[in-house]
Amino acid sequence: MTQTAFIQKIIHKAQKDIKTIVLPEGEDKRILQAAHEVAAAKFAKIIILGNIKSINDYFAEQGWSTDGIEIIEPEKSPKFNKYADLFYELRKEKGVSKEDALRQMNNYNYFGTMMIKAGDADGMVSGANHSTADTVRPALQIIKSKKKGRSVSSAFIIVAKDQPFVFSDCAVIIDPSAQELADIAIDAAETAIQFDIAPNVAMLSFSTKGSAKHEKVDKVVEATKLAQQQIELPEYCHLGIKLDGDLQLDAAVDAVVAEKKAPNSNVAGQARVLIFPDINAGNIGYKLCQRLGGAEAYGPFLQGLNAPVNDLSRGALVEDIVGMIAITCVQAQK
């Protein structure tokens, strides 16, 4: 299978510190083929959840080896009750009973997420047959945000004109407050660093440096201030994050426009992390790049969780799934 140069780089990075990724959708042939490709390329250990006999039969029919792949049938797993008990302990204050916990473990997204929580896997990729909400909710309930009280958001890596960018948030937080927008910006900068992309963050708006007045611009200006304060804190100040706003998209990425519209900005013209003011702008923005601009789009993947759980589009191709597994491995690396 042909992989883009970007995914080849990510696979190379994943190979340096092998992680275990659980794939809960073992009934889907695209997932099985992706598992086979990953195992053959030896960049992750794979756990597939599903019917052991039918998955083994399918691998045998295809002439594929199952080396590097473990197949678990949750209902028959000796750890089923252990995970249910752990889930009950974590969620009893939310009104979950022991019976609810046992029932919930029959949902493979919950079982897979509990494998991560119990330390039996490092990350999960699902969503080929589930909605974003069904994939993401167990992670929000069980794995939780890395920083207490902080929202988990999502990012895409967009490769346009051979240049990788981080776009955020295009898929999770529908209408972020100024504080949430600031947090999204910091988490996206950290995502960029993880993938060797310069953490030059533009807080996007339809205004550049006050060129337009509106409460929607005020939110971006406020978020910029809050994020600029955060990057001065000891935990961030050594990361080399540059952050500025309010910036229009052209001022953010085009040096000539930047020189005219924001000559004193340390980000304008060289932004690599684009923060959208809400999910409408973010979701439309990434799809414009992908569908009309011909850019490669990888994601959405979650950022700010204690361990990576990532969502596939239901139309995902095998190469998209392999790419997402590689991204999840890199996120799981410390």
- Which residue, 133 or 239, has its beta carbon nearer to ligand COA? 133
Q: Does 140 interact with ligand COA (rule: CB under 6 A)? A: yes
* Contacting ligand COA within 83-102 (CB under 6 A): 94
Q: Is 304 left (phi over 0), alpha (psi -120 to 50) or beta?
A: left
Q: Does 302 bind ligand COA (CB under 6 A)?
A: no
Site string for ligand COA, 162-201 (x = CB under 6 A): ---------xxxx---------------------------
Q: Tell me the one-letter amino acid at 37.
A: E
Q: Among 204, 185, 218, which residue's Cα sits nearest to residue 248?
A: 204
Residue 66 or residue 145: which is nearer to ligand COA going by CB?
A: 145
Stretch that binds ligand COA, among 68-76, 140-148, 158-166, 206-214 (CB under 6 A): 140-148
Residue nearest ligand COA, Cβ-based: 140
Smaller CB separation from ligand COA, 20 or 104: 104
Q: Is 243 helix (H, G, I), strand (E, B) or coil?
A: strand
What is the biggest distance separating any 2 CA atoms in the chain, rounded to whole angstroms?
Answer: 65
141 binds ligand COA (CB under 6 A): yes
Among 79, 137, 216, 287, binds ligand COA (CB under 6 A): 137
CA angle 58, 301, 103 (to 5 degrees): 60
If the CB atoms of residues 216 and 287 are measured against ligand COA, the closer one turns out to be: 287
Amino acid, res. 17: D
Q: Which of 129, 132, 179, 333 binds ligand COA (CB under 6 A)?
A: 132
Hey, which bits of 92-234 come out as E strands? Answer: 123-126, 153-160, 163-168, 200-204
Number of residues lying near ligand COA (CB under 6 A): 16
333 and 326 Cβ atoms separated by less than 8 Å: no
x/- contact string, 99-118, with ligand COA (CB under 6 A)?
Answer: --------------------
**Single-letter amino acid code for the residue at 78:** P
Instruction: Identify whether the C-beta of residue 169 lies closer than 8 Å to the C-beta of residue 282.
Output: yes
Strand partners, 159: 164, 296
Dihedral of alpha carbons 103, 108, 113, 114, sign: positive
Considering only residues 262 through 301, tell me which ones interact with ligand COA, judged by CB under 6 A. Answer: 283, 300
Helices (H), 63-131: 80-91, 98-104, 108-117
Closer by beta carbon to ligand COA, 77 or else 306: 306
- Least distance from ligand COA to the Cβ atom of residue 52, Å: 31
Q: How far is the CB of 104 from ligand COA (least distance, A)?
A: 13
Whether the Cβ atoms of residue 116 and residue 107 lie closer than 8 Å to each other: no
Q: Which is nearer to ligand COA, 63 or 95 (CB)?
A: 95
Mask: binding to ligand COA, 225-264, rule CB under 6 A, as x and -? ----------------------------------------
Query: Which residue, 46 or 171, is less far from ligand COA as judged by CB?
Result: 171
Q: Nearer Cβ to ligand COA, position 20 or 310?
A: 310
CA dist., res. 219 & res. 177, Å (int): 7
Angstrom distance (rounded) from CA 133 to CA 126: 11
DSSP codes of every residue in 48-79: EES-HHHHHHHHHHHT---TTEEEE-GGG-TT
CB of 41 to ligand COA, least distance (A): 27
CA angle 21, 136, 325 (to 5 degrees): 25
> Using CB under 6 A as the criterion, which residues of the chain lie in contact with ligand COA when the complex forms?
94, 132-133, 136-137, 140-141, 145, 151-152, 171-174, 283, 300
